[in-house]
Amino acid sequence: MASPIAQYPKTGIRVIIVGAGFGGLTAAIECTLKGHTAIIVEKTPTFEQLGDIISISTNAGRIMSRWDPALIEEKLRPVCMRHSGFKIQNKDGQQIFFQAAMPPNRERPMYNGHRADIHKVFYEYAKSLGVEFNMGQKVTGYKEDAASGKAWIETESGEIFKGDVVVGADGVRSRARKLILGYEDKPRSSGYSVWRAWFNAEENGVTTDPLTKEFVENGDTHTGWLGDDMHLLVASCKGGKEISWVCTRKDDSNLEESWSSKGKVEDVLNRIKDWDPKCRAIVSKSPSCMDWKLVCRDPLPTWVSPTGHTCLLGDAAHPFLPTSVQGCSQAIEDGSVLATCLSLSHQDSTIPASEKIPRALRAYERLRYERVKSAQKTGEDLRDKWHKCDYKTVHLNPESIRMPREDWLIKHDSERFVRRMWGSVAAELTGGPVIPRKSLAAGRESDEKFDNIELPPTPISTPKEELANPLR
């Protein structure tokens, strides 16, 4: 059944990764698959069941489709949503559009589910590849030395981890930013917050209430209501066994930016008192809810430190609004691009040894920066479209209210993209022609026409043809 796992040639590049979120774990997985040595340092002693719904879009699913399907696809399928589409309604419960789900695609799967369930699959896959984990170690200092070409971190307990590269994948409140920028960058309020909840449907009466059972009785569903500068999304998961909702609303208060700030269900009910009774029925069944403040940060001037041995990745480099549905996916893309840049720089005989790491990190930033900025913008655009819905226009063109799925975003193949652009980016970094923005940002052509670019085989233990049925 299992095929032997191919051994990638070791590159000798030692990558210290701070943070074991999706960005850090992907960087570790992709680095290991490409022959680098990945060491993770994470402040949490053990992962808790924090968070609720998270989405991995097809552009990130493409990267995961090259990982061992027995340890990824087979494990994720039972814990992720499977529904026929997304029903969009006004606040009174009248349907304004039904957006059919994309057909399943094994080369570009998407996954929506509880963050903790999906995160566990990533973590276990990284462990199976031999990634070294140092848990319960809070990183307090970042240092680097141009002369020796090394970077290192210090933890609260005084331990030092040294490598050729340090990756700050430490989330929205990153400490690594200070080294990179030379100053503390301050978050600002986005003016919005999200109440969120996830709970068992049966235990909380969702399955028996005539107002709510439609969300779970025939498997998973996905429904949204749009109100004045506010929206509510309800999604069920695991065949209707579990249910979650998120309610994004205007809020200028100074709540802490944290995944563990408690909210009050009564406050949500107050805000939606004149909405479709089904909204109140679902929300009232929640045992508790979280209140997540959405903060913004202006795009950082750079993600790479002065000597080029430390970089930022994921939310540490670029926090996302949830309406982009891309925060996790862009962190996953970052991890894959960084690992690929390290490989290509390592193999490029025109780059002097002392320049290989800085060149790889600068290429990583160059190939990611504009794309990420464009993807961040989609979150604001969708929020504004939903929160200031012009029903006359939507009535004439219901498609206009759909959740956008543009090719440049969701069909992107980040690894092929790096391999295709490597020559241009390497030339630009040494004074050659500047890559035009349209080759890097929104509106860029889909990657399908570059599908013939060869990728090195991924070491997997179970060939795809030996697995059970496709995703749905």
Ligand X SMILES: Cc1cc2nc3c(=O)[nH]c(=O)nc-3n(C[C@H](O)[C@H](O)[C@H](O)COP(=O)(O)OP(=O)(O)OC[C@H]3O[C@@H](n4cnc5c(N)ncnc54)[C@H](O)[C@@H]3O)c2cc1C
Mapped onto helix, strand or coil, the DSSP state of residue 440 is coil
Near ligand X by CB under 6 A, which window of 70-78, 249-257, 308-316, 391-399? Answer: 308-316
Determine if 175 is a binding residue for ligand X (CB under 6 A). Answer: yes
Instruction: Specify the residue, 129 or 331, whose C-beta has the smaller distance to ligand X.
Output: 331
DSSP readout, 290-347? EEEEEEE-PPPS-SB-TTSSEEE-GGGT----GGGS-HHHHHHHHHHHHHHHHHHHHH
Cross-strand bridge partners of residue 291: 195
Closest CB 48 distance from ligand X, rounded Å: 7
Determine if 43 is a binding residue for ligand X (CB under 6 A). Answer: yes
**C-alpha to C-alpha distance for 273 and 270, rounded to whole angstroms:** 5
Determine if 115 is a binding residue for ligand X (CB under 6 A). Answer: yes
Instruction: Specify the residue, 64 or 394, whose C-beta has the smaller distance to ligand X.
Output: 64
Q: How far is CA 419 from CA 384, 423, 426, in A?
A: 36, 8, 11
Q: Site size for ligand X, by CB under 6 A?
A: 31
State which of residues 30, 42, 164, 242 lies at the interface with ligand X (CB under 6 A).
42
Instruction: Specify the residue, 24 or 109, whose C-beta has the smaller distance to ligand X.
Output: 24
Determine if 322 is a binding residue for ligand X (CB under 6 A). Answer: yes
**C-alpha to C-alpha distance for 73 and 109, rounded to whole angstroms:** 9
Q: Ramachandran region of residue 130, left (φ > 0), alpha (ψ -120 to 50) or beta?
A: left
State which of residues 197, 328, 341, 360 lies at the interface with ligand X (CB under 6 A).
328
State which of residues 96, 169, 337, 339 lies at the interface with ligand X (CB under 6 A).
169
- Locate 87 and state its tokens: 């029903």
State which of residues 314, 357, 364, 426 lies at the interface with ligand X (CB under 6 A).
314
The residues carrying an active-site annotation are 196
Q: Which residues, in sequence order, are CB contacts of 201 under 8 Å at separation 6+? A: 207, 215, 216, 236, 240, 241, 242, 243
**C-alpha to C-alpha distance for 208 and 212, rounded to whole angstroms:** 8
Binders in 211-270 for ligand X, by CB under 6 A: 259
State which of residues 73, 117, 164, 170 lies at the interface with ligand X (CB under 6 A).
170
Closest CB 388 distance from ligand X, rounded Å: 23
**C-alpha to C-alpha distance for 312 and 175, rounded to whole angstroms:** 10
Near ligand X by CB under 6 A, which window of 47-55, 301-309, 392-400, 422-430? Answer: 47-55
Chain centre distance of CA 68: 19
In which element (H, E) is residue 43 found?
Answer: none
- Locate 154 and state its tokens: 């210090």
Near ligand X by CB under 6 A, which window of 6-14, 38-46, 84-92, 93-101? Answer: 38-46
Closest CB 107 distance from ligand X, rounded Å: 22
Cross-strand bridge partners of residue 466: none
State which of residues 17, 29, 31, 54 lies at the interface with ligand X (CB under 6 A).
54
Burial of 228 (0-12, 13-18, 19+ CB in 10 A): exposed
Determine if 20 is a binding residue for ligand X (CB under 6 A). Answer: yes
Binders in 421-450 for ligand X, by CB under 6 A: none
Instruction: Specify the residue, 403 or 435, whose C-beta has the smaller distance to ligand X.
Output: 403
Closest CB 297 distance from ligand X, rounded Å: 13
Determine if 23 is a binding residue for ligand X (CB under 6 A). Answer: yes
Q: Which of 234, 179, 189, 198 is nearest to 50 (CA)?
A: 198
Q: Which of 284, 201, 280, 277 is nearest to 236 (CA)?
A: 201
Closest CB 27 distance from ligand X, rounded Å: 9
Closest CB 295 distance from ligand X, rounded Å: 12
Closest CB 313 distance from ligand X, rounded Å: 7
Determine if 113 is a binding residue for ligand X (CB under 6 A). Answer: no
394 φ, ψ (degrees, to nearest 5): -65, -35
Q: Do the beta carbons of residue 217 and residue 209 sit within 8 Å?
A: no
Question: Pattern 116-155, binding to ligand X, x per CB under 6 A?
Answer: ----------------------xx----------------
Near ligand X by CB under 6 A, which window of 235-243, 323-331, 336-344, 348-356? Answer: 323-331
State which of residues 14, 17, 24, 161 lies at the interface with ligand X (CB under 6 A).
24
State which of residues 15, 16, 19, 88 lies at the interface with ligand X (CB under 6 A).
19
Near ligand X by CB under 6 A, which window of 36-44, 105-113, 293-301, 388-396? Answer: 36-44
State which of residues 8, 44, 373, 377 lies at the interface with ligand X (CB under 6 A).
44
Burial of 403 (0-12, 13-18, 19+ CB in 10 A): middle
Question: Could you count the other beta carbons within 10 Å of the beta carbon of residue 10?
Answer: 10
Instruction: Specify the residue, 25 or 357, whose C-beta has the smaller distance to ligand X.
Output: 25
**C-alpha to C-alpha distance for 340 and 422, rounded to whole angstroms:** 10
Determine if 61 is a binding residue for ligand X (CB under 6 A). Answer: no
Q: Which residues bind ligand X (CB under 6 A)?
A: 18-24, 41-44, 50-54, 115, 138-139, 169-171, 175, 259, 314-316, 322, 327-328, 331
